[in-house]
Structure 1
């Protein structure tokens, strides 16, 4: 986006240096989460939507906003209702409007914390865990993981 001395051009919604809107980031994370759940690559999703994988990456990061028609297409390709993209939205994403964050209101924005369950590492770990065929081994691994997490939080003696 190009800015003139008069400010953003007509039709622009934010200055280039601005951070992505927390709602755009959340929706992008939900797109990524569902794509990974389906075992779909960014290239494959892009092809289904007529986009490049780079465009999909920008949507997933929240760097590019997803319009209504694109959100509709995503819901069909990813086989989820449109509401799926807005589920589990943190209160921080629902805070002040973009208008307020641009200084047009006295409200201030709060930092957006991404959902750790939406990380690829978490999803890969869960998939690997459920590929362990022996229920007893899975249960012991689960107990070991819980004990390591508690031990890490225990203050040294």
Structure 2
């Protein structure tokens, strides 16, 4: 940000989308992870299949189990995944990377492996403070009375 609070650089391809209501009432919100993933940890990546011959998505949702291979740039939250089959994952960019285990899943990242480059995802943990600030700004802009800072530990609607 510059002195006028204008963004002059960007380090991650993340966005918050605020909906006026639930998309489906039976879909529970997924909380942001409370801690960063570690090398060797596995996660589930959700995306859509890409068809090389037509150059488009096949319309089917796909889930894959990935292992964190390491970090390309820990300060910017670039997580390297252990997948070697790049073509199988084209079309997954923007999909959630979820830690699963005891309790409900938690969002640990956003897939950025769909461009045919190394399979990576962007950590949401590194950007928790920014996400909280943006959620607070949106809640103030949406209502004449401030509703307070939304809790990242509760859930991301």
TM over 0.5: no
Query: Which one scores higher on RCO, CA 8 angstroms, separation ≥ 6?
Result: 2
Structure with bigger gyration radius: 1
Give the helix-richer structure, 1 or 2: 1
Q: TM-score, normalised by structure 2?
A: 0.23
